[in-house]
Structure 1
Amino acid sequence: MLLFCAKCGTRLTLEGRDVCHVMACQTCPYVFRVTRSIVNRKYPKLKEVDEVLSDSAVWQTVDSTDEKCPKCEHTRAYFMQLQTRSADEPMTTFYRCCSCGHRWKE
């Protein structure tokens, strides 16, 4: 945790490396006496992520192609392409078996 000088606003530094009991300003004579443990934790709030491929309604509007399922070896699979990386990378193709529903990507 950063503490700042009450007089000039400069960041306070630790005085003494063995046992830290004071924090002092480097530009003025201000000294802050540490009387208890100073702990401040802030955890960032994670943004909510939409699961694009888990919704079954997404797969109802896609086309199918001749692709062999690695699980049941059925010869038809639904597919969709999404840009998952930067624009100079190729699109990722996601497949879902028409028979067993197994999903994989290329």
Structure 2
Amino acid sequence: MLMFCPTCANVLVVEEGSNCYRFACNTCPYVQNVTRKISNKKYPKLKEVDDVLGGTAAWENVDSTEVTCPKCEHNRAYFMQIQTRSADEPMTTFYKCCSADCGHRWRE
């Protein structure tokens, strides 16, 4: 937390005085003793993160293939391919288990 000088509006620095700490201004003779702990916390508001794959709507019209789910070992999964890296690298395949109880997602 920054403290400002009430006389000249410059930032006050903390210096050690006689038996205590104090705020002092480097440009004028203003000095204020610190008599209690001063703290102030501000947490920034985080942005909402968008689902990169388009959320649940992205999985509505996709095909399924025979692949084993690593979580429940079901033998079918929905899949979609997205170019996540540069054009000279292969597309990334995303899978979602077809089992209604599982719904596990993974990529290859």
Cα separation, partners in 2 of 1:14 and 1:56, compared to 1, 3 Å:
closer
Structure 1 CA distance for aligned equivalents of residues 13 and 82 of structure 2? 51
TM-score between both structures, scaled by the size of structure 1: 0.67
Q: Which residues in structure 2 correspond to 1:1-106 (within 5 Å)?
A: 1-16=1-16, 19-20=20-21, 22-50=22-50, 56-70=56-70, 71-74=72-75, 76-82=76-82, 88=86, 92-99=92-99, 101-106=103-108
Structure 1 CA distance for aligned equivalents of residues 50 and 30 of structure 2? 51
Task: Indicate the SS of the match to 2:73.
Answer: coil
**One-letter amino acid matched to 1:103:** R
**One-letter amino acid matched to 1:102:** H
Structure 2 CA distance for aligned equivalents of residues 102 and 44 of structure 1? 33
**One-letter amino acid matched to 1:25:** C
TM-score between both structures, scaled by the size of structure 2: 0.66
Structure 2 CA distance for aligned equivalents of residues 47 and 83 of structure 1? 25
Cα separation, partners in 2 of 1:80 and 1:33, compared to 1, 3 Å:
same
Unaligned runs of 5+ in 2: none
User: Percent identical across equivalent pairs?
Assistant: 59
**One-letter amino acid matched to 2:73:** C
